[in-house]
Amino acid sequence: MRHSRFISGWRFRAVELLILLQVTWITFRKYRDIHKTLNALKALMQRNRAFIGNNRRYKIAQIGGRYFINYGMPAWPSRAFSRFVENFLDKEDHPDRPVLNALLFGITKKCNFQCEHCFEWFNLNKKEVLSKEQIVEVIQRFRETGVATVHLSGGEPLNRFRDVLHVLKEAPQDIEYWIYSNGFSLDAEKARMLKEAGLTGVAISVDHYLVEMHDGFRGVKGSFERAMQAAENCHDVGLAVCFSLCATGDMTSSLSLHRYAKMARKHGVKMVQILEPKAVGHYTGRDVSLAPEEIRNLENFFLEMNFTRSDEHDFPLIAYHGYYGRKLGCQGAANGYVYVDTDGYVHSCPFCQQQLYHALEGDLTHSLSQHMNSGCRVFPSEFNKINDKKMLTI
């Protein structure tokens, strides 16, 4: 059931126009006033420009009959996409009120890997705390804050496979659900069952284009091949696939990044997420911060893959959170998303490692209001500003 491809040229512009028409309708339906609608649409375009500058997208991924602008946004058309737009409008109307787009939720401590960069290293394979019913309740509570996308992580969430199926079937259906997975146990039957239960896609951790380097990073021999097979199983049933790369060492070079993109393309993957290493979890006490030149390479790669026209339109779309963070500040801390750990406690993001309050206790909206603007502090530096000459106008 391979129904994935990139749309570019006039077909992309046609889809882009249809998306704009729906966004306009959602906006007008909210305000019932032409002037307010136009002002809100202008604010939306300004927000988009703040993220991507003067760059212009030229392609979109079509997977299973829906369209993905990038990994961080719900697919269009979907109820989750409509809620994503409504969230933006609410945030513009009430900037001091927490309006979340996404929830990253660690639902299990269990994992069979020994990953070099694991931020949950000190919690792995301890006794589970949250029941499947409590997981659903947490998601239901966050839905009321506007959450349109939920990313289930861990540990390895497929170690609670039956509970994941329960969550997908019982949690709110106007939310888009993804799973972070190493892919090791994601066989064809599980992929089919996840798709039927309502999963949108799987972010599979792949940290190198070379088999032995990925396996060494993950601490499990054969993990690369199993990850590639997991991607194939997802493609076959119509699940979206994103490769998640923690960029360390030689993987920050331009040559390695382009080889990685070719590897992802070879396996039919339309989206890649790039994460930067942080000195938490298994990296605690280590200097793993990327050098300015390494960050520059990642940012140039992000801009090239997403915004540069070429004869080949089938390289993956890149989501690079560090790029956005340095431009606009931390998107966690209830400014866009939060992280809920395997004990049910809310953190600003997975890397802050500070339990602030329990997701099932008290007035969640009040807690989130107190939480806003307390996220990871982003340092300023000269390489965070992309030279205007490098900004691509397409």
- Tokens matching residue 241: 């696939």
Separation CA 106–CA 319 (nearest Å): 21
Separation CA 347–CA 300 (nearest Å): 30
The predicted pLDDT at position 375 comes to 55
The predicted pLDDT at position 325 comes to 80
pLDDT at 392 over 50: no
Per-residue pLDDT tens digits for 29-88: 999 999 999 999 999 888 888 778 888 999 999 998 899 998 989 999 999 999 999 998
Looking at residue 383, its amino acid is F
Cα 32 → chain centroid: 33
Task: Give percent of the chain with pLDDT exceeding 90.
Answer: 65
Q: How confident is the model at residue 379 (pLDDT cuts 50, 70, 90)?
A: very low
Out of 17-21, 280-284, 345-349, the most confident range is 17-21
Look at 374 and 269; give whichever has higher pLDDT: 269
pLDDT at 208 over 80: yes
List the chain domain ranges: 95-390
Average pLDDT over residues 290-319: 90
pLDDT at 387 over 90: no
Contact (Cβ atoms closer than 8 angstroms) between residue 154 and residue 115? no
Contact (Cβ atoms closer than 8 angstroms) between residue 143 and residue 377? no
pLDDT at 291 over 70: yes
Q: How confident is the model at residue 374 (pLDDT cuts 50, 70, 90)?
A: low
Superfamily classification of domain 95-390 = Aldolase class I (3.20.20.70)
Is 112 exposed, middle or buried, given 0-12, 13-18 or 19+ CB atoms closer than 10 A?
Answer: middle
The predicted pLDDT at position 6 comes to 94
Rg (CA), the chain: 20
Per-residue pLDDT tens digits for 312-339: 668 999 999 888 888 777 777 778 889 9
The predicted pLDDT at position 381 comes to 39
Q: How confident is the model at residue 373 (pLDDT cuts 50, 70, 90)?
A: low
Per-residue pLDDT tens digits for 129-163: 999 999 999 999 999 999 999 999 988 999 999 99
Average pLDDT over residues 291-302: 95
Separation CA 269–CA 231 (nearest Å): 8
- Tokens matching residue 266: 């070879």
- Tokens matching residue 181: 């997975």
Out of 191-205, 206-220, 326-340, 345-359, the most confident range is 191-205
Name the strand (E) or helix (H) holding 246. strand 240-246
Closest listed residue to residue 394, CA positions, set 57, 59, 63: 57
Per-residue pLDDT tens digits for 155-188: 899 999 999 999 999 999 999 999 999 999 999 9
pLDDT at 393 over 80: no
Is 307 exposed, middle or buried, given 0-12, 13-18 or 19+ CB atoms closer than 10 A?
Answer: buried
